[in-house]
Structure 1
Amino acid sequence: MERLIQLALADEIKIFRDGIRMAMKNRDYISIIWEAEDSKELTKKLKLKTPDVLLMDIRDPGANAIKDLQLIKKEYPDLKIIIFSMYDDYEIIREMMEYGANAYLTKRTDGDEIYKAILACMNDDFYFNELVNTAVLFKLQEKKSVKRYYPHPVKLNDKELKILKLISEDKTTEEISEEIFLSPRTVETIRQNMKTKVGAKTIAGLLMYGIRNKLLHP
């Protein structure tokens, strides 16, 4: 990491913001640039100074949360969003990842994992912990959860299939590049091309495509 990661916190409960601030204190490469306690303040501060990573709570896990996430990602496509929530329901997690979250953490998460997620989102665009893997991969085995996605499968070549499998195993870009003897930049390019090819907007969507078309077997 060559520069400080500018982190912003959005949570209406001050004790949670204070806890994250303390957990990130003295961590390498992290600078908390502002906090917001509601959506109005969040919108205003995003316009004034856009962070690299936004750690955002969702109080209402329904349609409003999805709409807010989509609007933020549309206006700030390079912003990494980590959902920080009290909810550990698989359907909520899957929807948040599908609609653009780069990571999903519960409020039981310790400081070490929060830090790991921030770095992973900056380096690899996403962070899949055990909870998210379970929600996205295993939940999607149910026919009712996947039948509406990607009705027209496309063919992936052997290299793309290998990278897709390694992504599902929670490998970082650097680990994938070492395993298949390609540069990290080439791995990232192939990953982006796969998303474009299958019509997925996120890594979660790419994995859903793999499950739907039986390319991945969790």
Structure 2
Amino acid sequence: MDNKIKILVVDDHQVVLDGFVARLELESDIDVVDTASNGIEAIESVRISRPDVVLMDISMPHCSGLEATAEIKAQFPNVKVLILTMHDNREYIMKVMQAGAVGYMLKDISSDKLIQAIKTVYQGSTYFCESVTQTLFTQSVQAITQKVNPLSRREDMILKMVAQGESSKKIAKSLNISYRTVETHRQNIKHKLDLYTTAGLTKYAVEKGILSS
């Protein structure tokens, strides 16, 4: 296939790296173009192999996944960085989102969910595994409820679905409204919040507790 999703896998544990690569190579529409064992190698590999999606570990020698993510997004803004780590920690999650990552998963994720996550971020949405979402919710609900939300109930609903990785087409079908109406709502949400990226909208939804409503 000419339109395979090009993947770079980054992890400092060779066994883990080999396991991910072996699973991804079973997919006919995914092509593992390279691997790296630290952030420095990851940045250089992105420069050479130009992947669509980077599966990025966080804790690595020489250059962490957080540092590498920020550098990759600065140099190659179209590359999607999907964090795959053992750290179920809100501080890590928020930092990598701020660095430009579009998804966050724990390494105990099922292989099917891993493939789903890759395809989701490749298509322009964000992806967070259930346990990560729960971590974000439980640690931020109190602060969230004290802040005013400028969005309407319908806009809240659409923002929630956007943050869950749903496309405008799927949102329209779920809410029984037109695709054009969904797109209008999405534009209104962006203008009201002064946020113009899916990652930014997702971060807002997490911080405001919209996903848990």
Question: TM-score by structure 2 length?
Answer: 0.79
Q: Which runs of 5+ in 1 are unaligned?
A: none
1:122 maps to what in 2? 122
**Deviation at 1:66?**
3.6
What is aligned with 1:165? 160
Q: How many residues align?
A: 206
Contact 1:91 1:135 in 2 (8 A): no
Rounded to whole Å, the distance in 2 between the matches of 1:48 and 1:107 is 27
Cα distance, 1:132–1:217 mapped onto 2, change above 3 Å: closer
Deviation at 1:129, TM superposition (A): 2.0
Please state how far the C-alpha of 1:86 moved relative to its aligned partner: 1.6
Residue 167 of structure 1 and its aligned partner are, at CA, apart by: 3.6
Aligned pairs for 1:55-204 (under 5 A) are 55-59=55-59, 65-143=65-143, 155-157=150-152, 159-167=154-162, 170=164, 172-173=166-167, 174-180=169-175, 181-183=177-179, 187=182, 190-191=185-186, 194-195=189-190, 197-200=192-195, 202=199, 203-204=201-202
Decide whether the 8 Å contact of 1:137 with 1:207 is kept in 2: no
The letter of the residue matching 1:194 is: I
1:206 aligned partner: 204
**Counterpart-to-counterpart distance in 1, 2:145 and 2:97:** 14
Opposite residue 172 of structure 1, the aligned amino acid is E
CA displacement, residues 64-105 of structure 1 (integer Å, 9 cap, x when unaligned): 654432222222222111111121123322332343221112
- Aligned partners of 1:13 and 1:133: how far apart in 2? 26
- Does the aligned pair in 1 maintain the 2:120–2:165 contact within 8 Å? no
Equivalent residues of 2:54, 2:79 under 8 A apart: yes
Q: Which runs of 5+ in 2 are unaligned?
A: none
Q: CA deviation at 1:138?
A: 2.8
Q: Please list the CA deviations of residues 12-58 of structure 1 after superposition, one character each: whole Å capped at 9, or x if unmatched.
A: 22111110011112213111111112222222111112211000111
In 2, Cα distance between equivalents of 1:68 and 1:131: 24
Matched residues in 1 for 2:182 and 2:162: separation?
11
Give the whole-Å Cα distance in 2 for the aligned partners of 1:98 and 1:189. Answer: 26
Identity percentage of aligned residues: 26
Asked if the contact 2:83/2:101 (under 8 Å) is kept, the reply is yes
Paired letter, 2:127 = Y
Q: Report the alpha carbon displacement of residue 127 of structure 1 after superposing the two structures with TM.
A: 0.9
Whether the 8 Å CA contact 1:8–1:34 is kept in 2: the answer is: yes
